[in-house]
Amino acid sequence: MRSEVAERLLRHGAGKLADHRPTTASDRVESSGPGVLMTATAHHDGGAACFVGFGQKRKRAEVLAQEVVDAMRRWVRADVSVEEHLADQLLLPMALAGGGSFTTTAPSDHARTNAATIAEFWDCPVAFEELGPDRWQVTVG
């Protein structure tokens, strides 16, 4: 049985994402626990990007759904290969592999911290170059 909060998440999120054809929505509720989260996945030629929002006490379901929708739309508009939370996870494997580059939205503080940590241990610089509004090139090595 779905909770009323989950129903509101689905109704608001699915309605806002209806204009994104590459997006699939799931209406599963897998737990009857006290917490809630919402995911939206954008499928594209190179794979998929997943956007997640976690509920908090006193945060309305519609606000949570809007945050997930906004993150996905920002990524789609930027036309980049990697969303910001995957970007910070790619830095270390790329440094260990000898380098590479990708495009992403504005790097998170976590990505910048990972870059600084990598620079402390390897002679492998990580550069962030702004290419345009919310479009960045990340180069490792």
State which amino acid sits at residue 42: A
**Residue-wise pLDDT tens digits, 98-133:** 999 999 999 999 999 999 999 999 999 999 999 998
Query: What tens digit of pLDDT does each residue of 32-72 get?
Result: 556 677 888 887 777 788 888 888 888 888 888 888 888 88
Say which of 12, 20, 85, 110 is annotated catalytic: 110
> What are the residue ranges spanned by the domains of the chain?
4-78, 84-140
- Please indicate whether residue 43 is annotated as part of the active site: no
Structure confidence at residue 130 (pLDDT) = 97
Does the pTM of the predicted model rise above 0.85?
no
CB within 8 Å of 65: residues ≥ 6 apart: 8, 9, 12, 13, 16, 38, 53
- What dotted CATH number matches 4-78? 3.30.360.20
